[in-house]
Structure 1
Amino acid sequence: MQTIAIKIRGIDDVISFIDSCSGIPGRAGVIWWLALGGLFLDAFSNSALSAGLGPMTRDLHLGAPQIALITSFASWVAIAFNPIGGWMADRWGRIRPLVLAKFLAVIGAVLVVFAPGFEVILAGRFFVGMAYGIDFAIAMAMLAEFTPVKLKSRLNAWQGMWYTAVCSNLLLALLFQSWHVGDSIWRHSVAATALFGIAILILQLVFLIESPIWLARKERLVETATAMSRIYGRTFSAAPVEERVPVLNQATRGLANVALIFRGIYLPRTLLAATVQVGQSIQYFAIGWYLPLISAALFGKDFVYATLGALLFNVFGIVGGFMSPAIGKRFGLRRASAFGFAAVFVMLLVLGLFGSKMPLWLAVIVPSLFILFHSSGPGANGKSLSSLSFRSEIRAGANGVIGALGSIGAALGLLVFPLFREHYGLDKTFLILAIVPLVASVICFVIKWDPTRTSITPDNEPDAPQFKSDAEEAPVFMNPAIEKSQR
């Protein structure tokens, strides 16, 4: 019996089919997890130095300003390459920039592994920052485009992957310590990053297929049908030209796309996503990234005990990160962020006021709760909010701009912690940084947009120059062939 091809007339048919899926089936699931694997690599690259920061400081005789620069440099570079990556993805598609990011990550890791000193490490971190900036803007957009609307909150799973990567680095650090490699242990951690980057690069080259939603937004329906057939294992075909539905209000390329996200209905979405992104970046990269050093201050400077303490803290990040999709589904991404920021504020207040006087059991619980509340709420939601709030042809660009703001927050957090700690002490540093989640929580409570609490799909809603209120619902129609196949 001959299979009837499902006709693709435009972007609505693609979205309707994806949203009709009960999960993320077939090749789509492989692509989804490979995009997530790229984010795992980004976390792995960023945390590789964290696990061995103490030994590297001794090995290279680094001062606080040099540590601050090395740890924050990749984030400063990512500020520029977040929007560049978004622009590349909106213009040329998702696949080529994603693969390029892995190639850059491998180069950066190799440079750091064999670096004779401070300057070459900075050069390596430049490539890592390029990769991080490009990859995050695009991977989150691609995840959103392969996720059915009812599973929107599943994007938050990237946060669980982040902490899995961090814990993997800490476990590897303990393994390398058992090899008695001394203070060069940080080179082994970064070498593991290079090997993992090569593996992800090969897998993405082999298995990734271009996003059908992006192709359809570009009105490349023949390529859309081919991609859909390969991804979902069913027969799709482009409708005859006379039956095709044109994309209305197609966003133009270049700076006009960036201007769109600061206008009309997109403005509060941008403000909310940027607030969560910047707030969570500052609090994580000022506190969470330095947990091995904080653990050493709490439990002693022995490398094994300090690493085990940091590992314990970050296990709560895995729990919170993989809980965040359920929490986001239950409360919405906005309220989950607001409550998470408020809880983080309380934890930093406790650490600042009582950190040096706390008994051991409380010194374990409070940083663990900090990571739990961060990862289950705002830690995941900034990137998810920006990925779910904008339509396909500006999604990666919006992610790039908001991601650049987040990278500024990350760079500031990485830069100020060692400087504040040296100048004010650990307890006062916690109190100063507590201002960040407090302000972010208030903003999250004030702005009401939440992509998981609206029936509007950004790829279906009209956009500039005719903006539409959130109360108006854009029409969504189902391909008759799809309806027939579901009956």
Structure 2
Amino acid sequence: MKAVIIRLRGIDDVISFIDSRPGIQGRAAVIWWLALGGLFLDAFSNSALSAGLGAMTKDLKLTATDVALLTSFASWVAIAFNPIGGAMADRWGRVRPLILAKVLAIVGALLVAFAPSFQTILIGRFFAGAAYGIDFAIAMAVLAEFTPARFKSRLNTWQGMWYAAVCTNLLLALLFYSWNVGDSIWRYSVGMIAILGAALFALQFAFLVESPIWLARKERLDEAARAMSRIYGVTFAAAALEERHPVLNQARRGLANVLLIFRGVYLPRTILAATVQIGQSIQYFAIGWYLPLISAALFGKEFVFATLGALLFNVFGIAGGFLSPAIGRALGLRRAAAFGFAAVFVMLLILGLFGDKLPIWAAAIVPSLFILFHSGGPGANGKSLSSLSFRGELRAGANGVIGALGSIGAAVGLLIFPIFRERYGLNNTFLILSAVPFLASLICFSIRWDPTRTTINPDNEPDAPQFAADRVGALSPILHSAVAKP
């Protein structure tokens, strides 16, 4: 039997085919996991300094202000590069900026690992922040565009990858410590970023394929057809010009596209995603990132015990992160974030009111529950909400803007924790920071938008809500025959 050629008339046919898939399989799965691998690298880069921060502080004789600047600097840089990366991806596609981000990450890691001075470290962290800002905005868009609609909550898997990277860093720190490298242990941790970045660069360069949804939204159907043929192992071709469907409401104004996310139906979606992103960033980077130091305050300053304590806390992050797709599927992304913020608020109250009076088992379990509730709820959902709430040519740009707001939250959290801790003490710092999840929870309960609880597809919004059923139904005969071989 002759192989069937599927002809694409427009973005609706591309989306319908992807949404009809029984899972994320084949080349699509390779691309999906390589995008997640980039987020693993981002988390690894962000947490590498955390694992060796105590040793670095002694090695370079850093003050609290130096630590605050050093740890937050990459996040300040990411504020600019989140929207830059999003604009690059919306203009030039997803693949090239992702590859560029790996180059920047490698350069930044090498500069820090071999830095002779504090100033050189800051230059290296500039490159790390640029890589982080570019990569996160685009990788989440790629995940959204390769995920069938009924598996939307799987985007939250990135949160489990984040904590897996953090735990990997802590385990490597224990390994390097066993080598008796002294206070230079942080250089080894940062050097591993360059090795991991080089491996990921090679894999992404070899296997990534441009997003068919982005190509179709740009009315580049011939390229979209070729991309889908490579990804899905089925022959696609663009329909004749007279049969093609026009792209609805295509934004063509470059950077000016970002203004659209603050108007009309997109405004409450932007407020919701930004609230979750900013709130989770502040609470994680003010508390979670400093867990090795918090662990040392709770369990003693001996390196092995402090690191094992931080490892224990972050194992709960792995559990919560990989459970977050199921939690999001059960509750919806919005309610999962709202309940997660509320639970984090309670944990911070307990730490603030009773932190120095807790028995050792409670001193271990409360920070662990903080990480569990954070990673299972709001930790993943800010980026997932922004990736699922906007149409294709706005998606990476929206991720960039909302990611920049999240980077502001991260920078603020990283900056204020060492300063607040020195000025007000650890317990009072927890109490002050508890206001963040409390307010974020209230906002999440107030806004009703949830992309996992609607039939609206942002990539072709005017066709909703009957869009998915109509398009998949129309394509189903050729989808079933597409597997026929010559």
Aligned-partner SS, 1:477: helix
- Kindly indicate whether the alpha-carbon contact (under 8 Å) linking 2:5 and 2:236 is maintained by their aligned counterparts in 1: yes
Q: Which residue of structure 1 lines up, in the alignment, with residue 478 of structure 2?
A: 484
Deviation at 1:477, TM superposition (A): 1.6
Partner letter of residue 294 of structure 2?
A: I
Partner letter of residue 12 of structure 1?
A: D
Deviation at 1:284, TM superposition (A): 0.1
For residues 120-156 of structure 1, the C-alpha deviation after alignment (integer angstroms, 9 at most, x for no partner) is 0000000000000000000000100000000000000
2:121 maps to 1:121: yes
- Kindly indicate whether the alpha-carbon contact (under 8 Å) linking 2:87 and 2:255 is maintained by their aligned counterparts in 1: no
Q: What is the CA–CA distance in structure 2 between the aligned matches of 1:342 and 1:140, rounded to whole Å?
A: 25
Deviation at 1:256, TM superposition (A): 2.6
Q: What is the CA–CA distance in structure 2 between the aligned matches of 1:56 and 1:75, rounded to whole Å?
A: 19
2:49 maps to 1:55: no
Q: Which residue of structure 2 lines up, in the alignment, with residue 145 of structure 1?
A: 145
2:314 maps to 1:314: yes
- Kindly indicate whether the alpha-carbon contact (under 8 Å) linking 1:70 and 1:122 is maintained by their aligned counterparts in 2: yes
Q: What is the CA–CA distance in structure 1 between the aligned matches of 2:266 and 2:475, rounded to whole Å?
A: 34
For residues 326-385 of structure 1, the C-alpha deviation after alignment (integer angstroms, 9 at most, x for no partner) is 000000000000000000000000000000110000000000000000000000000000
Q: Which residue of structure 2 lines up, in the alignment, with residue 323 of structure 1?
A: 323
Deviation at 1:254, TM superposition (A): 2.4
> Any runs of at least 4 consecutive aligned residues in structure 1 with deviations exceeding 3 A, and if so which?
472-476, 478-482
2:228 maps to 1:228: yes
Q: What is the CA–CA distance in structure 1 between the aligned matches of 2:66 and 2:114, rounded to whole Å?
A: 18
Deviation at 1:481, TM superposition (A): 5.6
- Kindly indicate whether the alpha-carbon contact (under 8 Å) linking 1:13 and 1:479 is maintained by their aligned counterparts in 2: no
Q: Which residue of structure 1 lines up, in the alignment, with residue 397 of structure 2?
A: 397
- Kindly indicate whether the alpha-carbon contact (under 8 Å) linking 2:43 and 2:166 is maintained by their aligned counterparts in 1: yes
Q: Which residue of structure 1 lines up, in the alignment, with residue 294 of structure 2?
A: 294
For residues 254-296 of structure 1, the C-alpha deviation after alignment (integer angstroms, 9 at most, x for no partner) is 2331110000100000000000000000000000000000000
- Kindly indicate whether the alpha-carbon contact (under 8 Å) linking 1:47 and 1:169 is maintained by their aligned counterparts in 2: yes
Q: What is the CA–CA distance in structure 1 between the aligned matches of 2:157 and 2:299, rounded to whole Å?
A: 31
Partner letter of residue 154 of structure 1?
A: R
Q: What is the CA–CA distance in structure 2 between the aligned matches of 1:474 and 1:329, rounded to whole Å?
A: 21
- Kindly indicate whether the alpha-carbon contact (under 8 Å) linking 2:94 and 2:138 is maintained by their aligned counterparts in 1: yes
Deviation at 1:460, TM superposition (A): 1.4
Deviation at 1:420, TM superposition (A): 0.1
Q: Which residue of structure 2 lines up, in the alignment, with residue 366 of structure 1?
A: 366
Q: What is the CA–CA distance in structure 2 between the aligned matches of 1:255 and 1:120, rounded to whole Å?
A: 32
Q: Which residue of structure 1 lines up, in the alignment, with residue 484 of structure 2?
A: none
Aligned-partner SS, 1:140: helix
- Kindly indicate whether the alpha-carbon contact (under 8 Å) linking 1:461 and 1:473 is maintained by their aligned counterparts in 2: no
Alignment of 1:413-432 (within 5 A): 413-432=413-432
Deviation at 1:473, TM superposition (A): 4.8
- Kindly indicate whether the alpha-carbon contact (under 8 Å) linking 1:7 and 1:479 is maintained by their aligned counterparts in 2: no
- Kindly indicate whether the alpha-carbon contact (under 8 Å) linking 2:258 and 2:397 is maintained by their aligned counterparts in 1: yes
Partner letter of residue 8 of structure 2?
A: I
Partner letter of residue 479 of structure 2?
A: S
- Kindly indicate whether the alpha-carbon contact (under 8 Å) linking 1:324 and 1:376 is maintained by their aligned counterparts in 2: yes
For residues 94-116 of structure 1, the C-alpha deviation after alignment (integer angstroms, 9 at most, x for no partner) is 00000000000000000000011
Q: What is the CA–CA distance in structure 1 between the aligned matches of 2:216 and 2:296, rounded to whole Å?
A: 52
Please report the TM-score for the alignment, with normalisation by the length of structure 2.
0.97
Q: What is the CA–CA distance in structure 1 between the aligned matches of 2:473 and 2:83, rounded to whole Å?
A: 35
Deviation at 1:474, TM superposition (A): 4.6
Aligned-partner SS, 1:461: helix
Alignment of 1:188-207 (within 5 A): 188-207=188-207
Q: Which residue of structure 2 lines up, in the alignment, with residue 238 of structure 1?
A: 238
Q: Which residue of structure 1 lines up, in the alignment, with residue 76 of structure 2?
A: 76
Deviation at 1:478, TM superposition (A): 3.6
- Kindly indicate whether the alpha-carbon contact (under 8 Å) linking 2:16 and 2:475 is maintained by their aligned counterparts in 1: no
Deviation at 1:117, TM superposition (A): 1.5
Q: What is the CA–CA distance in structure 1 between the aligned matches of 2:46 and 2:188, rounded to whole Å?
A: 14
Unaligned regions of 5+ residues in structure 2, if any?
482-486
Partner letter of residue 254 of structure 1?
A: G
Aligned-partner SS, 1:166: helix
2:433 maps to 1:409: no
Q: What is the CA–CA distance in structure 1 between the aligned matches of 2:249 and 2:460, rounded to whole Å?
A: 11
Unaligned regions of 5+ residues in structure 1, if any?
463-467
Deviation at 1:252, TM superposition (A): 1.7
Alignment of 1:438-457 (within 5 A): 438-457=438-457
Aligned residues: 480
Q: Which residue of structure 2 lines up, in the alignment, with residue 465 of structure 1?
A: none
Q: Which residue of structure 2 lines up, in the alignment, with residue 176 of structure 1?
A: 176
Aligned-partner SS, 1:301: coil
Partner letter of residue 23 of structure 2?
A: G
2:298 maps to 1:304: no
Partner letter of residue 139 of structure 1?
A: A
- Kindly indicate whether the alpha-carbon contact (under 8 Å) linking 1:7 and 1:481 is maintained by their aligned counterparts in 2: no
Deviation at 1:4, TM superposition (A): 1.1
Q: What is the CA–CA distance in structure 1 between the aligned matches of 2:226 and 2:474, rounded to whole Å?
A: 19
Q: Which residue of structure 1 lines up, in the alignment, with residue 356 of structure 2?
A: 356
Q: Which residue of structure 2 lines up, in the alignment, with residue 102 of structure 1?
A: 102
- Kindly indicate whether the alpha-carbon contact (under 8 Å) linking 2:84 and 2:400 is maintained by their aligned counterparts in 1: yes
- Kindly indicate whether the alpha-carbon contact (under 8 Å) linking 2:248 and 2:460 is maintained by their aligned counterparts in 1: no
Q: What is the CA–CA distance in structure 2 between the aligned matches of 1:318 and 1:187, rounded to whole Å?
A: 25
Q: What is the CA–CA distance in structure 1 between the aligned matches of 2:475 and 2:5, rounded to whole Å?
A: 8
Q: What is the CA–CA distance in structure 2 between the aligned matches of 1:388 and 1:82, rounded to whole Å?
A: 17
Q: Which residue of structure 1 lines up, in the alignment, with residue 11 of structure 2?
A: 11
Partner letter of residue 351 of structure 1?
A: L
Partner letter of residue 418 of structure 1?
A: P
Q: Which residue of structure 1 lines up, in the alignment, with residue 267 of structure 2?
A: 267
Q: Which residue of structure 1 lines up, in the alignment, with residue 347 of structure 2?
A: 347
Partner letter of residue 485 of structure 1?
A: L
Q: What is the CA–CA distance in structure 2 between the aligned matches of 1:88 and 1:241, rounded to whole Å?
A: 28
Q: Which residue of structure 2 lines up, in the alignment, with residue 167 of structure 1?
A: 167
